[in-house]
Amino acid sequence: MVLNDPIGAHGQEWWRHAVTYQIYPRSFADGDGDGVGDLAGITSRLPYLRDLGVDAVWISPFYTSPQKDHGYDVADYRDIDPLFGTLADADELLERAHEVGLKVIVDLVPNHTSDAHEWFQAALAAGPGSPERDRYLFRDSPAGAPGTPPNNWRSVFGGDAWTQVEDGQWYLHLFDASQPDLNWRNPEVGDMFVDVLRFWLDRGADGFRVDVAHGLFKEESLRDQVVAAGRQPSSDARDAADVPMVERTERDEPMWDQPEVHDVYRRWHEVLAKYDGDRMLVAEAWTQSPESMARYIREDEMSQAFNFAWLLASWSASEFTEVVTGTLAATEAVHGSPTWVLSNHDVDRHVTRYGGGPVGLARARAATLTMLALPGSAYLYQGEELGLEQVDVAPEHRSDPFWLRTGHVGRDGCRVPIPWSGEAPPFGFGPGDGQPWIPQPTAWAALTVEKQEADPDSTLAFYRAALAVRRTFAHTAGDAVEMLDLGPDVVAFRRGPLTVALNCGTEPVAVPDGDVLMASGPVGATLPADTAVWLG
């Protein structure tokens, strides 16, 4: 079996069928033993990722940062935070990754900087009306209402989206107060990011994951958000998750998804096109529908956009089927390439979302297998290949700004450092016995990479096998998907020679004809509940 063969040889861009593995650097592998993961740690584990069978890694931010949002608050886009290493470590990582056949996608954060960024510090010092303030969104209180924020927008992390500075002006931050939003109507901002793109492209980055890609432009008037009766103002598209998919209606979102944002991505497309090797852009855009998502991947814009629809759907054959058909229709309309993702560093891990314990794990494996059979590319989040669950992190160890601003549990529970080996924390996360920045559950002794490598029935063995089998059809099975009707509890489709079935019900169903290529659990004459199968 050839691992990581150059996909370009098939005459297609590498990212169209790639499986990309997301690394959250502070929680992946710790090279220096300070309890926080780093670039040297990632480099040391590249052989593990090659053997897993992924094509690319996406690395969450590693830039200089006060770490108020663990790196999504960037103080210098052209340097590495000392916590994670140096620019030389980044160069080394890129080189070694390429040597083992892995592409590297870096995370770009253009919606906001850190408040420690030199531009924001200059804006504070320069005062109202200055060119320095014009790089951000500073505004006064409404006339006659001193002490009142300029509009009713809420931060995604809770609380007002505005913070007042000493001279009485307010600045907008759709996230934490330490993450001031940039003013993308100021040309200096666009020019700066083109320089940043080139900086990382010149160093060998194969692509960029674009953070909050739908956020850069706000409606110019910065008017109030119109809020439906009975609802609270909110900037968080994920709030729609409590509304059944079929009932979701368009919300008023003057802070998101403005038409001007697409000019930015057209410009970036041209910058990337001047480089060799199919460099790519993938949007993190929490838009309201598959159609609005697809606008980001028109031919002269980004390569891909994360498709969060599946991750927002509950365990339901009808919802999953709607996600598959809706996604394929919307991406086809713009000749785009679909993406699939079940977990990332912002959401509860999918084993837990699907109920936790053995049932949650069976469902997570089944959903993963189904997703991996679809045309397009898939994104995996570190630790899902070990079947890790969301951890109930003790309050004193939580540091997510969402928790700090709202008192709601937040995202720390999907960011617990990876267990690599041994019988007790830190489970080989770093050298020595130093404990990681979030304590690992002792029960993870059974889930270490070391244990799972020795067990042919482990979730790690399942992921390796699924990715190896996927390689045999990913480039040849075509993009056409024909949905099959195997009853209301089953997601089923045919793609080229492949037939796929996922049983979301409680009773076994008949297995369609064909040889079993891969299954998420034991399969006999019938397909048990919470199980998926690939047939050839």
Determine which residue in the list 160, 211, 278, 385 makes contact with ligand GLC, applying CB under 6 A: 211
Residue 64 vs residues 97, 116, 531: alpha-carbon distances, Å: 22, 10, 44
For ligand GLC, the closer of residues 345 and 350 by Cβ is: 345
CB of 193: closest distance to ligand GLC in angstroms?
Answer: 15
Helix (H) and strand (E) counts in the chain: 14, 20
Site track 163-202 with ligand GLC (rule: CB under 6 A), x = hit: ------------x---------------------------
If one counts every other C-beta atom within 10 angstroms of the C-beta of residue 249, the result is 8
CB of 135: closest distance to ligand GLC in angstroms?
Answer: 18
If one counts every other C-beta atom within 10 angstroms of the C-beta of residue 392, the result is 10
CB of 346: closest distance to ligand GLC in angstroms?
Answer: 5
CB of 389: closest distance to ligand GLC in angstroms?
Answer: 20
CB of 25: closest distance to ligand GLC in angstroms?
Answer: 13
Subset of residues 508 to 527 that bind ligand GLC, contact rule: CB under 6 A: none
Size of the site for ligand GLC (CB under 6 A): 9
Site track 249-288 with ligand GLC (rule: CB under 6 A), x = hit: -----------------------------------x----
Residues identified as active-site: 211, 284
Spatial separation of the C-alpha atoms in residues 265 and 298, rounded to whole Å: 10
**DSSP-assigned beta bridge partners for residue 58:** 22, 105
Site track 18-57 with ligand GLC (rule: CB under 6 A), x = hit: ----------------------------------------
Q: Is the peptide bond before 426 cis (omega within 30 degrees of 0)?
A: yes
CB of 339: closest distance to ligand GLC in angstroms?
Answer: 15
For ligand GLC, the closer of residues 235 and 459 by Cβ is: 235
For ligand GLC, the closer of residues 69 and 389 by Cβ is: 69
Long-range contacts of 15-18 (CB under 8 A, 24+ apart): 15/56, 15/103, 15/207, 15/278, 15/280, 15/282, 15/303, 15/304, 15/337, 15/377, 16/337, 16/376, 16/377, 17/375, 17/376, 17/377, 17/474, 17/475, 18/54, 18/55, 18/56, 18/103, 18/377
**DSSP-assigned beta bridge partners for residue 498:** 495
For ligand GLC, the closer of residues 161 and 212 by Cβ is: 212
Spatial separation of the C-alpha atoms in residues 523 and 521, rounded to whole Å: 6
CB of 344: closest distance to ligand GLC in angstroms?
Answer: 7
Determine which residue in the list 57, 59, 97, 109 makes contact with ligand GLC, applying CB under 6 A: 109
- Number of alpha carbons in the 13 Å side-chain half-sphere of residue 140: 8
For ligand GLC, the closer of residues 24 and 534 by Cβ is: 24
Site track 54-93 with ligand GLC (rule: CB under 6 A), x = hit: ---------------x--x---------------------
Would you say 152 and 112 are in contact if contact means Cβ atoms under 8 Å apart? no
CB-closest chain residue to ligand GLC? 72
Spatial separation of the C-alpha atoms in residues 160 and 354, rounded to whole Å: 32
Determine which residue in the list 30, 319, 346, 412 makes contact with ligand GLC, applying CB under 6 A: 346
Q: Dig out the tokens for 178 from the structure.
A: 């330490």
- Number of alpha carbons in the 13 Å side-chain half-sphere of residue 52: 26
Nearest CA-CA partner of 399 in 67, 159, 44, 132: 67
User: Is 381 one of the binding residues for ligand GLC (CB under 6 A)?
Assistant: no
CB of 129: closest distance to ligand GLC in angstroms?
Answer: 28
For ligand GLC, the closer of residues 94 and 109 by Cβ is: 109
For ligand GLC, the closer of residues 418 and 517 by Cβ is: 418
Q: Give CA angle at 35 (30, 38), nearest 5°.
A: 35
Q: What is the 8-class DSSP label of residue 160?
A: B
User: Is 212 one of the binding residues for ligand GLC (CB under 6 A)?
Assistant: yes
For ligand GLC, the closer of residues 114 and 368 by Cβ is: 114
Q: Dig out the tokens for 288 from the structure.
A: 């309201």
Q: Give all strands (DSSP E) within 273-348, no chain letters.
A: 280-283, 304-305, 339-341
The binding site for ligand GLC (CB under 6 A) comprises: 69, 72, 109, 175, 211-212, 284, 345-346
